[in-house]
């Protein structure tokens, strides 16, 4: 009877009983809609795409219309009046309306061309940042999801252990009352029980913290989560060669791709600033319409239209060394971009190495803990039998129980860590996709 109860508690310690529990893919879909970090990255990408249109505007015609309407007052008195006419003063008011339509089409402006290319590159950089944000969201969701499962397993393990200790405490008290054991067994069981109560309170608090961390991503309290299937088998990501993953990380990682684009932007910026020494040429065309009314003694009332068309050019001579200073600044920024690129490559390569070794080590640990689980179960069964026949004491049973619970809990965490490291490995290599989350989702007990 006791063996059956213990086995049931251990088996149930890591199983969720909610058939409607949300799985990893469902949580990820909620995060796509509600995560503010990802929404911010999406808005930044949309804003960045406008850099292309802004850069192109420097190559397209510029058309403007301006005009004015004025009323003029004129008082005229000749300095030397005509004796035949006498003193004549003129007082008149007349309106003048004018409007101008002007078109300017750049013919040669190297700065504008380079700014257009920079706009194209800037848009590509924001797309790389958005892709990285999507990978980061997958990792944050997976980490938070399995953190909750880890906390749930810890709490379930402690609660199951607490129930088993309670039974051992009651058994020790009964045996002490009939004189078959000493008070030591009772005190030991009581001490283990008090410790389990304290651990349970801590585990409940930790679970609440982990659930609120997941809530921060999906925007609402998470319900029950689908647990990992019992005895699930994990494998090493392919190819099973760390060097290939590192090579991919050094070239395909989105942080590296973004820094490569920043280097190109810095190079284009140098060209743009150097173009400050180059001449510029524009085609211009304008039409000026003037309508003058009233009685003007200087100019007769009437309407005039003037049309101008031609090429306007400018050759810069001296700008106070501003162009030279901007070139020096952009050259230094290019060097900075090169160093940032090298740092991004090294960081991505190190992340790939750590994640690959984490997966490989995790798989070895899982195998070792699976063997330890079998051994711990056998040890508990043997101690329970020995306790029943009087060749084992209560503390032996308690130690065996604790070892089995700890082994199961550590085994579950090793599986979670191995799965997350596998996702991190693909993220470091720039190949993490939603399909990878779907593959992990198939490992869950729906």
For residue range 434-446, what is the model confidence (pLDDT) as tens digits?
Answer: 999 999 999 998 7
Contact call for residues 162 and 197 (beta carbons, < 8 A): yes
115 CB contacts (<8 Å, ≥6 apart)?
Answer: 55, 58, 272
- Per residue in 157-209, pLDDT (tens digit) is 899 888 888 887 887 788 777 776 678 878 887 888 898 899 999 999 999 99
Comparing 185 with 118, the larger pLDDT belongs to 118
**Three-state secondary-structure class, residue 222:** coil
**Section 370-379 average pLDDT:** 92
Domain definitions of the chain by residue range: 2-72+93-441
Q: What pLDDT sits at residue 411?
A: 94
Alpha carbon dihedral 113, 118, 120, 122, in 10-degree steps, equals -160
397 band by pLDDT with thresholds 50, 70 and 90:
confident
Fold of 2-72+93-441: Outer membrane efflux proteins (OEP) (1.20.1600)
312: left (phi over 0), alpha (psi -120 to 50) or beta: beta
Given pLDDT bands bounded at 50, 70 and 90, which one contains residue 11? very low
Q: Which two tokens stand for residue 181?
A: 């054991």
Give the mean pLDDT of 90-101.
82
* 294-318 tens-digit pLDDT: 665 556 677 889 999 999 999 999 9
Between 193 and 364, the higher pLDDT residue: 364
Name the more confident of 95 and 345: 345
Q: How confident is the model at residue 76 (pLDDT cuts 50, 70, 90)?
A: low
Contact in structure between 281 and 108 (CB atoms under 8 Å): yes
Q: What is the mean pLDDT of residues 86-99?
A: 72
Q: What pLDDT is recorded for position 402?
A: 83
The Cα 420–Cα 438 span in angstroms is: 13
């Amino acid at each position: 009877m006791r063996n059956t109860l213990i086995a049931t508690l251990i088996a149930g310690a890591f199983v969720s009983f909610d058939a409607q529990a949300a799985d990893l893919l469902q949580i990820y879909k909620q995060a796509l809609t509600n995560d503010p970090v990802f929404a911010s990255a999406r808005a930044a990408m949309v804003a960045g795409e406008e850099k292309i249109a802004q850069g192109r505007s420097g190559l397209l015609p510029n058309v403007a219309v301006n005009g004015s309407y004025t009323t003029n007052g004129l008082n005229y008195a000749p300095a030397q009046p005509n004796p035949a006419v006498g003193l004549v003063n003129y007082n008149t008011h007349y309106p003048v309306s004018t409007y101008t339509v002007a078109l300017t089409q750049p013919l040669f402006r190297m700065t504008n061309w380079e700014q257009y290319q920079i706009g194209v590159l800037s848009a590509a950089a924001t797309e790389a940042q958005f892709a990285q944000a999507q990978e980061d969201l997958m990792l944050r969701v997976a980490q938070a999801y399995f953190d909750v499962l880890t906390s749930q397993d810890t709490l379930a393990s402690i609660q199951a252990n607490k129930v088993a200790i309670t039974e051992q405490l009651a058994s020790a008290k009964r045996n002490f009352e009939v004189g078959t054991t000493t008070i030591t067994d009772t005190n030991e069981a009581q001490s283990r029980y008090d410790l389990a109560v304290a651990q349970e309170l801590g585990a409940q608090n930790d679970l609440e913290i982990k659930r609120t961390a997941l809530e921060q991503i999906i925007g609402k309290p998470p319900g029950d989560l689908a647990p990992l299937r019992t005895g699930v088998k994990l494998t090493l990501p392919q190819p099973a060669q760390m060097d290939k993953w590192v090579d991919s990380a050094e070239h395909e990682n989105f942080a590296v791709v973004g820094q490569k684009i920043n280097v190109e932007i810095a190079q284009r910026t140098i060209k743009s600033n150097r173009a400050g020494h180059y001449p510029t040429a524009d085609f211009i065309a304008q039409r000026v319409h003037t309508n003058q009314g009233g009685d003007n003694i200087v100019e007769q009332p009437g309407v005039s239209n003037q049309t101008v068309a031609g090429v306007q050019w400018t050759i810069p001579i001296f700008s106070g060394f501003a162009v030279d200073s901007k070139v020096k600044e952009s050259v230094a920024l290019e060097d900075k971009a090169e160093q940032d690129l090298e740092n991004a490559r090294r960081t991505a390569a190190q992340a790939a190495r750590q994640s690959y070794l984490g997966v490989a080590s995790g798989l070895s640990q899982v195998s070792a803990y699976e063997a330890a689980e079998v051994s711990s179960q056998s040890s508990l069964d043997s101690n329970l039998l020995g306790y029943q026949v009087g060749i084992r004491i209560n503390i032996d049973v308690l130690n065996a129980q604790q070892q089995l619970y700890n082994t199961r809990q550590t085994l579950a965490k090793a599986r979670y860590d191995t799965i997350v490291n596998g996702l991190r490995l693909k993220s470091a290599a720039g190949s993490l996709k939603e399909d990878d989350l779907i593959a992990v989702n198939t490992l869950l007990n729906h």
